[in-house]
Amino acid sequence: MQFSNLLNMLINRFTQTILIAIIVFIGLEASAKKYPKPIQKRIDKAVKAAFDTADVSFEDLNNGVDNLDSYSGIEKIAISKLSMEGNTIGFAAFASTKGKNDLFDYMVLFDELLYIKKVIILVYRSSYGGEIMAKYWLKQFEGKSNGEQMQFEKDIDSISGATISAPAITTGIKSLSLLMVNLKESGKL
């Protein structure tokens, strides 16, 4: 019986690893609809925690973000409008940022006024710098808006073991925050 349980656990773990590897090697665009089930569960859990409800619908926005070059630290982006009972309650921005060698994917949840409610790392591909996935470290971004008070090592503390990833994601989140405000001001959100 124990061998059977161990075998099932290994098969489940292997399946999850294969799904994540597909994301890594195919390089899917970041979006709530394109993550495997285990990652989607983390997305749903984060949305529920940030907005105190599980009844949230995602609407992918084709916002025409053409010029990412002017927003440093962001490689890929997808934005979803979050609604509850037909009312917009916020936005989910899915982005990728490059660490030392590899891209990592994360989600930033914004309220309707574009204040950051939550940041979670969805896929971290590198063998170094994973310390940025710590919830206590990511909490530093909550409540910030329009790229303000997001200067690394001034407003955002560094973290041991993430010498390159920590400033990279800080730059990415700051740029993402500025991008969201610019999209709203131009009527694209």
> Could you tell me the maximum CA-CA distance found in the chain, to the nearest angstrom?
61
Give the torsion through C-alpha atoms of 56, 59, 65, 70, to 10 deg.
0
Instruction: Give residue-wise pLDDT tens across range 121-174.
Output: 999 998 888 899 999 999 999 999 998 888 888 889 888 888 899 999 999 999
Instruction: Give residue-wise pLDDT tens across range 74-117.
Output: 888 889 999 999 899 999 999 999 988 889 999 999 999 999 99
Distance CA 98, CA 127 (A): 13
More confident residue, 7 or 181: 181
* Residue 126: predicted pLDDT: 87
- Checking if the pLDDT of 25 tops 90, the result is no
* Residue 26: predicted pLDDT: 38
